[in-house]
Amino acid sequence: MELIQNSYEKYTVLPQSEQQKEVSLEVIVPDTQADVYSVLTSFAVCQVKQKTLRQDCVMVEGTVELEAFCQEEEEDRWQTIRGSMPFTMEVEATGCREDSVAQLRVEILRCDAQIRNPRKLQLQAQVAAYVQVYQKESLVVTETATGSTEEDIQILCDTVELDLIRMVTEKKLVAADELQIGSVGRLLHYHVDWKQEEQRVLSGKVMLRGSACIQTVFFWEGQLRQQEYQIPFSQVVECEGLEPGDNVTADYQLLQSQVTLLEGDSPALSCSLTGCVTACATRRTRLPVLRDIYSTRFPTVCQCSQLDCPAWKIFEEAVPVEDVCQPQEAAVSVMDCRMRARGFVDDRGCMGGIYSIRLLYCCAAGRLHCAEHTMKVVGQDAVNAVQLAVRAGWQTVSAQADNGAIRIRFTAVLKGRGLVEQPCVQVSRCTLDGEKRRAVPPAGTLVLRAVEEQETVWSIAKQYGSRTQQILAANNLEASARLVPGQLMMIPFSG
């Protein structure tokens, strides 16, 4: 007897890895600038310079560019102090190899600036790196079995449909432009999102089109002004083996950004953005699987195991959020609201996010102040998945002064990706004792018995060492017939 196996190429998903690091830098106020007396707010962006895959780890190198918006001695005069802090992180990723595909996401969790003296600032930031590794492997499937006429092997085969990750690939993404903006003052901070608008799956490639959305906040004559700009992009990602009908998800990550205000007669915003898109393709695949096996002539021992092929699924939940922040000074109006978020999974398996909000508001005296507010948002529904990784986002943010407090409203968008089991049992090993004969009734014997709960023609034939075809013929049944408990069945034996 021989088990016939086949190998199918697929990707497995390793557990998401995470590493955090604190970076710090002392910055001297340039001689050309006045003394600083307070810090209103700070802003940081992470520039990823290099990602290197090694055995069981991913090395990440980059810099944190941090800006502190500071007040001078005169109340209505402000200046920006900048600093660049390099960092190196080793993110442990057990199972990672140099030929793996590692999806990297780097975020600034927190940034602060503190005044040591009027000529020196301490800049600090907390960096988090998240790594999702896709590893190419083979899925071994037992499809059928063969044996000699003497062994009289009986097999039970089935065709199953499984979602397989068939392709994972990365492609660099670039968007650059010089945007005319008019008189809008000083650039205080910005945020970049890659928004996909179209996706077409073709043979061997996927075509992506969208925009890099740059949300800016300018400081002008004591007021803050928000403006959004868009730079279109289109990208073709070559994906060997991709076929129309495959389900492709594209995930975008900003790696480097340079957004600079060009002053002059025609003020413009110079934007140079570099990102990475990771395309992951899954395919619904029909596979023949050997479910069970026995011999009518010899004792057989069959071992079955689960086919290890969980499906990679995406989950999404939107949660309306409303909360109140009590600032140190009573707020009259809110000038700017900036958010950062970090996803998590709670003990019940629900997706959630930690939202850190930095608010710039105006008090009754007309002065600008900064307030920090943190809230925890948890979804209602538990997600039945393993290796669940959650990314927290938001939509429709509003912050308004309300009797001195600040009322915050937004929609938390929780997106998770995890592995869902696809139960499928296959024969992994079967041994036959050719030295012994099965004890079966003589040829021509008929056994009459009643069908019990959950019995099938196959289970009855295996129990008595008979053939399913003989039982079906003797009882005038089709192969797809369902048995009813109590139904009388004849089990014939041909010897």
List, for residues 45-68, the tens digit of each pLDDT value.
Answer: 999 999 999 999 999 999 999 999
| Residues 150-160, mean pLDDT to the nearest whole number | 92
pLDDT at 113 over 70: yes
Q: Are 279 and 169 in contact (CB under 8 A)?
A: yes
Q: Are 404 and 330 in contact (CB under 8 A)?
A: yes
Q: What is the per-residue pLDDT for 495?
A: 61
| Residues 428-451, mean pLDDT to the nearest whole number | 86
Which residues, in sequence order, are bridge partners of residue 15?
none
Nearest to 59 by CA among 9, 25, 7, 106: 106
> With bands split at pLDDT 50, 70 and 90, how would you rate the model's confidence at 373?
very high
Which residues, in sequence order, are bridge partners of residue 230?
213
**What is the DSSP track for 20-69?**
EEEEEEEEEPPTTS----EEEEEEEEEEEEEEEEETTEEEEEEEEEEEEE
Secondary structure (3-state) at 462 = helix
| Residues 434-448, mean pLDDT to the nearest whole number | 83
Nearest to 13 by CA among 98, 181, 131, 129: 131
Rounded distance between C-alpha atoms, residue 62 and residue 59, angstroms: 10
Rounded distance between C-alpha atoms, residue 122 and residue 176, angstroms: 32
Nearest to 411 by CA among 428, 422, 397, 431: 397
Q: What is the per-residue pLDDT for 11?
A: 93
Which residues belong to CATH 3.10.350.10 in the chain? 440-495
The DSSP call for residue 345 is E
Sign of the CA dihedral running 476, 482, 488, 494: positive
pLDDT at 251 over 80: yes
**pLDDT tens, position by position, 456-472:** 999 999 998 899 999 99
Secondary structure (3-state) at 474 = helix
Q: Regarding the domain delimited by 440-495, which CATH topology (the fold level of the hierarchy) does it fall under?
A: Membrane-bound Lytic Murein Transglycosylase D; Chain A (3.10.350)
